[in-house]
Amino acid sequence: MIKVGVIGGTGYTGAELLRLLTGHPNAEIAAVTSRSNQGELVSDIYPNLRGIVDLPFVAPELDKLSGCDVVFFATPHGVAQSSVPGFLEVGIKVIDLSADFRLRDQSVWEKWYGQPHQASGLLSRAVYGLPEVNREAIIEADLVACAGCYPTSIQLGLLPLLRQGCVDSSDIIANSASGVSGAGRQANIATLLSEASDSFKAYGASGHRHQPEIEQGLEDIAGQSVGLTFIPHLLPINRGIHTTIYANLVDLNVDVQELYERHFKNEPFVDVLPAGSHPETRTVRGSNYCRIAVHRPDNGRKVVVLVVEDNLTKGASGQAIQCMNLMFDLPETLGLMMPGLLP
Amino acid sequence: MIKVGVIGGTGYTGAELLRLLTGHPNAEIAAVTSRSNQGELVSDIYPNLRGIVDLPFVAPELDKLSGCDVVFFATPHGVAQSSVPGFLEVGIKVIDLSADFRLRDQSVWEKWYGQPHQASGLLSRAVYGLPEVNREAIIEADLVACAGCYPTSIQLGLLPLLRQGCVDSSDIIANSASGVSGAGRQANIATLLSEASDSFKAYGASGHRHQPEIEQGLEDIAGQSVGLTFIPHLLPINRGIHTTIYANLVDLNVDVQELYERHFKNEPFVDVLPAGSHPETRTVRGSNYCRIAVHRPDNGRKVVVLVVEDNLTKGASGQAIQCMNLMFDLPETLGLMMPGLLP
Amino acid sequence: MIKVGVIGGTGYTGAELLRLLTGHPNAEIAAVTSRSNQGELVSDIYPNLRGIVDLPFVAPELDKLSGCDVVFFATPHGVAQSSVPGFLEVGIKVIDLSADFRLRDQSVWEKWYGQPHQASGLLSRAVYGLPEVNREAIIEADLVACAGCYPTSIQLGLLPLLRQGCVDSSDIIANSASGVSGAGRQANIATLLSEASDSFKAYGASGHRHQPEIEQGLEDIAGQSVGLTFIPHLLPINRGIHTTIYANLVDLNVDVQELYERHFKNEPFVDVLPAGSHPETRTVRGSNYCRIAVHRPDNGRKVVVLVVEDNLTKGASGQAIQCMNLMFDLPETLGLMMPGLLP
Amino acid sequence: MIKVGVIGGTGYTGAELLRLLTGHPNAEIAAVTSRSNQGELVSDIYPNLRGIVDLPFVAPELDKLSGCDVVFFATPHGVAQSSVPGFLEVGIKVIDLSADFRLRDQSVWEKWYGQPHQASGLLSRAVYGLPEVNREAIIEADLVACAGCYPTSIQLGLLPLLRQGCVDSSDIIANSASGVSGAGRQANIATLLSEASDSFKAYGASGHRHQPEIEQGLEDIAGQSVGLTFIPHLLPINRGIHTTIYANLVDLNVDVQELYERHFKNEPFVDVLPAGSHPETRTVRGSNYCRIAVHRPDNGRKVVVLVVEDNLTKGASGQAIQCMNLMFDLPETLGLMMPGLLP
């Protein structure tokens, strides 16, 4: 039984970790932390866990988590970096769901997050947590920086094309749309139901923090520089990311459907739909699947890839547990094979 | 391993059965039937099951299901009754999610459903599938008529009060609201997103098919006649039932909070919230829990009971599997302990 | 042209006043105030008004509004009372959408709002702004306290029955459900889309600030004391209130349909639906109508009244303008005859 | 007073025409037709119109509409073409909201709609109803083929760039998302609330009927051939279209913000937002505005245009009335200046 600590248990990725861990046969939730809610029951904030998780929130301190085999950081960006070294020192593995260790280039991180990085020495030690790209390294890692929600959908959507050099990597467009849970559980006018429901909009069109992570990941895959235009949009739903990718084929003879099916045929959580399909976010609601369809309108040069995932599951907490399974030599799919909740 | 057949697998309760059965450690889906979609893959209609359920729909005929230990009928009302006798004869247990065997009084059934009952001889053999009321009989049953979605919420909500004779049973009000999935997966203008979303309304205010089932159930519990006003409403969401019950206490000294906590303390799927709480449908989304809160405004004569459940889970398919567990001597909670999907 | 000031223009009732006033042929928006957003354009907060309302927010001070014929207070409870006397002194009429002047009994107000009332001398001068009950007094008033959103739906729903003494006034139930905009435009976790969407719950079941206003109104109508159980619920939509009222007839021979049609036949904004109907909140979205249907299940003693309104329009800003029309001798329906936005 | 007939009054664009016409000071609804619902009141289908539109549906026959000055066809594609000649012959102007007369090339129409065109002789007489492109011709027209919902958003979004030759017209991407009302009011499983809510998906990724209309329009604007990739998506809301356009600048020195502001500065219904903005569909809900923002991520070659409109208003019925105003020498904005319904 793996003893698990969840740091930052009041946010949505923390809650999703708890939901998934309660169904994991080889994991046991040892402690859940929250600075602001310590002493309260976890199930007071998340009543869906009543009768299932009976723990109180404890302070986010090392001694509260010293019996853990692994801790997950489900904290805002900037929080994990100061605590991670302490955990690693005492032999506790760390899976960070925030952006703190995703970028290898410290200066890029500091530019986008507007603060000095407090554990830059660990940036090279951290393994990027996207199993479909990085499985072997994750198995060996003691510090995993889970891929972000948008970056996961975009990297998985482009993986076969970029790996094979099938598209012009200098002009790629990722048009993404996310449910509101991606904005977290903070009091905020812009994400009130009365502001965000029954509406749709783009945001961050002039630049978004996820951009450098996506570019770094795509360049790792492509082995060359990548020119990406990334525009995120806000969907009036809780969960779900849909990314529509546009790229230009360099070889018009490639059979993109066959390419995708072949590339992902052994991936347990990437489901390539039959030709002509359109994935729906509801088919992955609460599940760890990523569903992909590939189109070539009019059989032309443009390839259009449609990708869906649940931003809280494959885009965050499910992926984190997938990484945990790898790090602890468990079957990769353990505790993660539930279908999406539909309808 | 229990071999399970699902009859009527294209509807939402059928899909929910499949979702739950895939996570049940002692059940195996042997066959899924659909008259209209036979030959197609189940996962073509329900892509959330891709990679998890690889069966095609087969015709709803006995020989296709002859290897089953139990069959679930997830069919429209009026369909199960002609086939059930055949299954029972060959020793296959039947769990019917439709209304066909819920009413003991044949004439009442025929009045509300407007057709002669074709297996009226089985009405007395059928056991009403509400474990919290009828557990012992379900264990012995080979034909279970699962309680309906609204009736489950109302009977559980009133169970302690009526059992103890704490309220005037001649004037009870159940004001219920259900998600749209309760209307099923049929092409229908009234349940289009453009008609039912961003709105709220009552329906059936002058009489509803669930009324006789609810009254029969409440009278069984109370041991006397019950006067019920039941008004259902349509919520602009997929899943979830919320019932607000109003009744008049006959003894003002009863501690209703204590009564509910005591009554349900051993029930695995009924969660009595702390005094002052208000259950939210989202806390039971996709789960088999029923959450209840009891209020006495101004400490007066009126008791107000708030009940939530997922109409497709505790209100239908989860409850059906709970009955199956009982009928097959399995732990009642097996395969059903997942928390609600929140957010 | 009536010169109008809107005090508290950043909230939803303020925004709704502006929307409606831009279509009013005899009103001109002279000033819109906001303490926190002064200097910003109104249309920066409410981009739907771009090109239509070109004013900036100004400070909520008398001299900024001295040219007005009437000011609307669309402020949180407790704000209007200190400023209202100043406006009345200089001859500016006041229409208050908050609760400050709705209760005649100062001690009840102070109990529920937890603060001393600062203009208690005006409580008796204020006229309760529900034209269907109080039209003549509104015409003469210089200070109108608009009826609240829930209270409007409940009073209109019970008006014919209580006026005629047709029901037992000691046991009335109002089961209401409101869209989230009723909670206002404040940063608040509970009304985030991720918390309030795709869900339904009751709130305030043990007591709610609207209760004394509703009781006062119903007692004025009935001419006797009223026993009311009022339970509000939160709908996962922006706009709309639906109230389901339960009462017991004292005379089983009354034709409730005829009673309602007769009572409201000259009311421009109360629409009694044909027998057997169920009003939908979407039919009044953005409109000033209140739609009502009356049912008697099984032709029994219980009468069930279904009422819908838009909480921001007939429940707040539309009603306020209806009052303004009366106070300024204009046709009561001026600027208010738009149909609901459907779908 | 212009006497107006609405043909096909049961669909959503028909209902929207009626809603808008009731607020139009110079128009009078003379007749509303429906083959299937004749004899019923319009307000039985659209209760938001109760008390405002008291007409019954009549049969869609010329003699029922002979007193009209203009008729609107709000019918499915393929219906208008056989009746239009009759109306024109007797001097009744026709505004068609369907696709019947939008394409000048008969063979392209017949290919996409799979039927012979029955009034191909009128294709060259029909004027394309997009006032911002075609105002002068509309003023003179007696047959207007209103621009479609997606095509309106894309053409307005690209108008300044293509007119000025600022972008490479051979590689343009339009990533659009529409509310479900665009699919019309037909019984259909795919647009049930339980299927389309709480989800997001692309559709028609391999080819869509709107494509030739959009290309024809863009080529008219550009004066040269255009290579367009158009991917529509389905939003889980009623109303609203959001289009995100991607194109490559040919001249990096162009000030796109200035270009858009200058181009549209006299257009009453096109609102160019300040630099850095992101338009939201809710700001145009129920209004005739189109709001546009232009971005150049990282000040690079790629220009990203964000466009919102209400698919039923500026994308259909509002635009049709705008055309009517032009055809009858009325102020173009008459009856159309209402702000969006927000929240």
Separation between Cα atoms, residue B292 and residue A293, nearest integer Å: 43
Instruction: Give me the residue from D189, D196, D197 closest to B187, CB to CB.
Output: D189
Could you give the strand order of the β-sheet that contains B57-58, starting from the edge strand earlier in sequence?
Answer: B57-58, B27-33, B2-7, B70-73, B93-96, B143-146, B127-129
pLDDT band at C223 (very low <50, low <70, confident <90, very high): very high
Instruction: Give me the residue from D185, D188, D196 closest to B187, CB to CB.
Output: D188
Separation between Cα atoms, residue A275 and residue B31, nearest integer Å: 27
Burial label for B38, CB within 10 Å (0-12, 13-18, 19+), is: middle
| pLDDT reading at D207 higher than 90 | no
Q: For residue D8, give the DSSP letter.
A: S
The H-assigned helical ranges of chain B are 12-21, 42-45, 80-89, 106-113, 131-140, 149-163, 193-196, 210-222, 256-264, 318-327
Concatenated DSSP letters for C221-285?
Answer: HHTS---EEEEEEE-SSSS-EEEEEEEEBS-TT--HHHHHHHHHTT-TTEEEPPTT---BGGGGT
Separation between Cα atoms, residue A75 and residue A72, nearest integer Å: 9
pLDDT band at C164 (very low <50, low <70, confident <90, very high): very high
Separation between Cα atoms, residue D92 and residue D99, nearest integer Å: 20
Location of structure tokens 């008796």: C124
- Which chains contact C through at least 3 pairs of Cβ atoms less than 8 Å apart? A, B, D
Q: Please list every residue in chain C whose beta carbon sits closer than 8 Å to the beta carbon of residue D52.
A: 337, 339
pLDDT tens for residues A229-256?
999 999 999 999 999 999 999 999 999 9
Question: In the predicted model, what is the mean pLDDT of residues C178-199?
Answer: 96
Annotated catalytic residue within A68, A146, A149, A323: A149
Concatenated DSSP letters for B163-203?
Answer: HTT-B-TTSEEEEEEE-GGGG-S---GGGBHHHHTT--EE-
In CATH, what is the architecture of C150-313?
A: 2-Layer Sandwich (3.30)
Separation between Cα atoms, residue A78 and residue A58, nearest integer Å: 20
Best residue in C172, C200, C282 for a mutation probing chain B (most B CBs within 10 Å): C200
Q: Please list every residue in chain C whose beta carbon sits closer than 8 Å to the beta carbon of residue B279.
A: 201
Question: In the predicted model, what is the mean pLDDT of residues B107-115?
Answer: 95
Annotated catalytic residue within D68, D146, D149, D166: D149
Contact assignment for A194 to C187 by CB distance below 8 Å:
no
SS3 C172: strand
Which of A309, A245, A315 is closest to A279 using CA atoms? A309
Element (H, E) at D156: helix D149-163
Amino acid at site C30: A
Rg of chain B on CA atoms, in Å: 19
Contact between residue B72 and residue B4 where contact means Cβ atoms under 8 Å apart: yes
Nearest CA in chain B to D236: B193
Biggest alpha carbon–alpha carbon distance for chain C: 62
The number of angstroms, rounded, from the C-alpha of B120 to the middle of its chain's C-alpha atoms is 22
Separation between Cα atoms, residue B109 and residue A322, nearest integer Å: 51
Question: In the predicted model, what is the mean pLDDT of residues B148-176?
Answer: 98
Separation between Cα atoms, residue D44 and residue C273, nearest integer Å: 10
> How close A200 gets to chain B, by Cα (Å)?
15
Rg of chain A on CA atoms, in Å: 19
| pLDDT reading at C207 higher than 90 | no
Contact between residue D215 and residue D279 where contact means Cβ atoms under 8 Å apart: no
Question: In the predicted model, what is the mean pLDDT of residues C94-105?
Answer: 97
Which of B300, B134, B103 is closest to B210 using CA atoms? B103
Instruction: Give me the residue from B199, B230, B248 closest to C282, CB to CB.
Output: B199
Amino acid at site B20: L
Instruction: Give me the residue from C192, C236, C237 closest to A192, CB to CB.
Output: C192
Question: In the predicted model, what is the mean pLDDT of residues A301-312?
Answer: 98
Contact assignment for B284 to A48 by CB distance below 8 Å:
yes
Mean pLDDT across chain B:
97
SS3 C72: strand
Best residue in A50, A237, A278, A285 for a mutation probing chain B (most B CBs within 10 Å): A50
Tokens of D106: 């008969």
Annotated catalytic residue within B68, B149, B166, B290: B149
B71 HSE (CA, 13 A, CB side): 31
pLDDT value, residue B206: 87
> How close A216 gets to chain C, by Cα (Å)?
30
Contact assignment for A237 to C195 by CB distance below 8 Å:
no
Strands D57-58 and D27-33: parallel
Nearest CA in chain B to A272: B50
| pLDDT reading at A284 higher than 90 | yes
Contact assignment for C47 to D15 by CB distance below 8 Å:
no
In chain D, the percentage of residues whose pLDDT exceeds 90 is: 99
pLDDT tens for residues A105-126?
999 999 999 999 999 999 999 9
Prediction ipTM score: 0.97
pLDDT band at B10 (very low <50, low <70, confident <90, very high): very high
CB atoms within 10 A of CB A93: 20
Q: Please list every residue in chain D whose beta carbon sits closer than 8 Å to the beta carbon of residue B192.
A: 180, 185, 187-188, 191-193
Contact between residue C136 and residue C220 where contact means Cβ atoms under 8 Å apart: no
> How close C12 gets to chain D, by Cα (Å)?
7
The answer for residues whose C-beta is within 8 angstroms of residue D168's C-beta and 6 or more apart is D247, D248, D249, D250
Q: Please list every residue in chain A whose beta carbon sits closer than 8 Å to the beta carbon of residue C47.
A: none
pLDDT tens for residues C295-323?
999 999 999 999 999 999 999 999 999 99
> How close D123 gets to chain C, by Cα (Å)?
32
Rg of chain C on CA atoms, in Å: 19
pLDDT value, residue C340: 98
| pLDDT reading at B208 higher than 90 | no
pLDDT band at A83 (very low <50, low <70, confident <90, very high): very high
> How close A255 gets to chain D, by Cα (Å)?
15
pLDDT tens for residues B17-36?
999 999 999 999 999 999 99
Tokens of D91: 């001097």
Nearest CA in chain B to A343: B238
SS3 A190: helix
Contact assignment for A185 to C195 by CB distance below 8 Å:
yes
Does the bond joining C339 to the residue before it have cis omega, within 30 degrees of 0? no
pLDDT band at B185 (very low <50, low <70, confident <90, very high): very high
pLDDT value, residue A206: 87
Which of C21, C66, C133, C70 is closest to C329 using CA atoms? C70
Contact assignment for D180 to B198 by CB distance below 8 Å:
no
Q: Please list every residue in chain D whose beta carbon sits closer than 8 Å to the beta carbon of residue A153.
A: none
Contact assignment for C202 to B242 by CB distance below 8 Å:
yes
Using a CB–CB cut-off of 8 Å, the residues of D that contact B are 12, 179-181, 183, 185-189, 191-198, 236-238
Amino acid at site D251: D
Best residue in A199, A226, A233 for a mutation probing chain D (most D CBs within 10 Å): A199
pLDDT tens for residues C281-297?
999 999 999 999 999 99
Nearest CA in chain C to B194: C343
Which of B270, B26, B33 is closest to B132 using CA atoms? B270
> How close D44 gets to chain B, by Cα (Å)?
13
Contact assignment for B52 to A337 by CB distance below 8 Å:
yes
pLDDT tens for residues D278-297?
999 999 999 999 999 999 99
Concatenated DSSP letters for D294-314?
Answer: EE-GGG-SEEEEEEEE-TTII
Question: In the predicted model, what is the mean pLDDT of residues A328-336?
Answer: 98
Tokens of D190: 């795919």
Question: In the predicted model, what is the mean pLDDT of residues D217-240?
Answer: 98
Rg of chain D on CA atoms, in Å: 19
The number of angstroms, rounded, from the C-alpha of B238 to the middle of its chain's C-alpha atoms is 16
- Where in chain B are the domains? 2-125, 150-311
- Which chains contact D through at least 3 pairs of Cβ atoms less than 8 Å apart? A, B, C
Separation between Cα atoms, residue B227 and residue B211, nearest integer Å: 11
pLDDT tens for residues D100-144?
999 999 999 999 999 999 999 999 999 999 999 999 999 999 999
pLDDT value, residue A325: 98
pLDDT value, residue B207: 85
Separation between Cα atoms, residue A81 and residue A84, nearest integer Å: 6
C172 HSE (CA, 13 A, CB side): 31
Tokens of B149: 């979605």
Nearest CA in chain B to C284: B199
Nearest CA in chain D to A241: D200
Q: What is the CATH number of domain A150-311?
A: 3.30.360.10
Angle (deg, nearest 10), helices C149-163 and C256-264: 110
Element (H, E) at C22: none
Contact between residue A131 and residue A319 where contact means Cβ atoms under 8 Å apart: yes
pLDDT value, residue D206: 87
Tokens of B114: 């407007």
Asked if CATH classification 3.30.420.480 holds for the domain at B2-125, the reply, yes or no, is no
Separation between Cα atoms, residue A190 and residue A192, nearest integer Å: 6
Mean pLDDT across chain A:
97
pLDDT tens for residues B234-272?
999 999 999 999 999 999 999 999 999 999 999 999 999
Partners of B309 in beta bridges: B241
Contact assignment for A197 to C12 by CB distance below 8 Å:
no
Burial label for A298, CB within 10 Å (0-12, 13-18, 19+), is: exposed
pTM to 2 decimals? Answer: 0.98
B-C CB pairs within 8 A amount to 134
Separation between Cα atoms, residue B82 and residue A138, nearest integer Å: 57
Q: Please list every residue in chain A whose beta carbon sits closer than 8 Å to the beta carbon of residue B341.
A: 19, 48, 285-286, 341
Separation between Cα atoms, residue B52 and residue A343, nearest integer Å: 17
The answer for residues whose C-beta is within 8 angstroms of residue B194's C-beta and 6 or more apart is C343, D12, D179, D180, D181, D183, D185, D191, D238
Q: Please list every residue in chain D whose beta carbon sits closer than 8 Å to the beta carbon of residue C181.
A: 343
- To the query of whether residue D290 is one of the catalytic residues in this protein, the response is no
Which of A10, A8, A9 is closest to A187 using CA atoms? A10
In chain B, the percentage of residues whose pLDDT exceeds 70 is: 100
The C-alpha angle with vertex A334 and arms to A329 and A337, in degrees rounded to 5, equals 150
Contact between residue C35 and residue C59 where contact means Cβ atoms under 8 Å apart: yes
Q: Please list every residue in chain C whose beta carbon sits closer than 8 Å to the beta carbon of residue A185.
A: 189, 192, 194-195
